[in-house]
Amino acid sequence: MVSGVSVLTKVVLVTGGAAGIGLGVARRMTVEGWRVVMADRQPPFEEIAGARFVEADVSEEAAVATLVDGIRTTEGRLDAFVSNAGFMNRKPIRDLTLAEWNAVLATNLTSTFLLAKAAEALLCETRGTIITIASTRAHQSEPDTESYAASKGGLVALTHALAVSLGPAIRVNCISPGWINTKDEPLRPEDHGQHPAGRVGRVEDIASLVSWLIGTDSGFVTGAEFVVDGGMTRKMIYT
């Protein structure tokens, strides 16, 4: 036992775990018996039994090192991490400062590099997995989203690079969500109806895929991107 956690209990780190997709993943994995470490810059919207919250800014190298060292000391192992932390700064490029650009890339993209570097040894010990959460915006865009699109496109590429470099000991895969209703906002029939799947996505849709990808049934899957968008990126739209 390490700090009350069985050394046989699998451990997953979820960044951006305070809300939205990250919180949904944390809920799912605790139900499945995993020990979850939730990292975020703000406290989680709810407490989850079987989860430990760590306040951390994963865009900072020192904070990532402290986070991973804490897992090594407290949980004693790491079987997976889900790199989900991210935010968007929607602003015309003429008004977007270099500092604002760098802030988005640091949180959305560089954090995955920092985490993979810091956690490689722990993940090798468990033949673990890394899941990056990108976006369909890696493939298509709305106006004024350059920094976000670049960060998510970078995650897709970083995923397959890590898969090749860290395999076979560590598998690395990417999930690119489309419209996921992370805030339980009211939706119109046309919001659902525009999706070939017939509805807007839910956080559970992403959490269930994370569960499969970090489990043993997906052992032959690495370097892949899974677009989870109800079919929207396959739909021709003319205006």
DSSP 159: H
Dihedral sign for Cα 187, 188, 191, 197, please. positive
Q: In terms of DSSP H, where are the helices of 41-188? A: 61-74, 98-105, 111-126, 146-166
238 an active-site residue? no
| Cβ-Cβ contacts under 8 Å for 114 (sequence gap 6 or more) | 58, 59, 61, 64
C-beta separation of 163 from 173 below 8 A: yes
| Cβ-Cβ contacts under 8 Å for 74 (sequence gap 6 or more) | 2, 3, 5, 52
Residue of 34, 53, 81, 148 with catalytic role: 148
What is the C-alpha to C-alpha distance for residues 17 and 99, in angstroms, rounded to an integer?
25
Residues acting as catalytic residues: 148
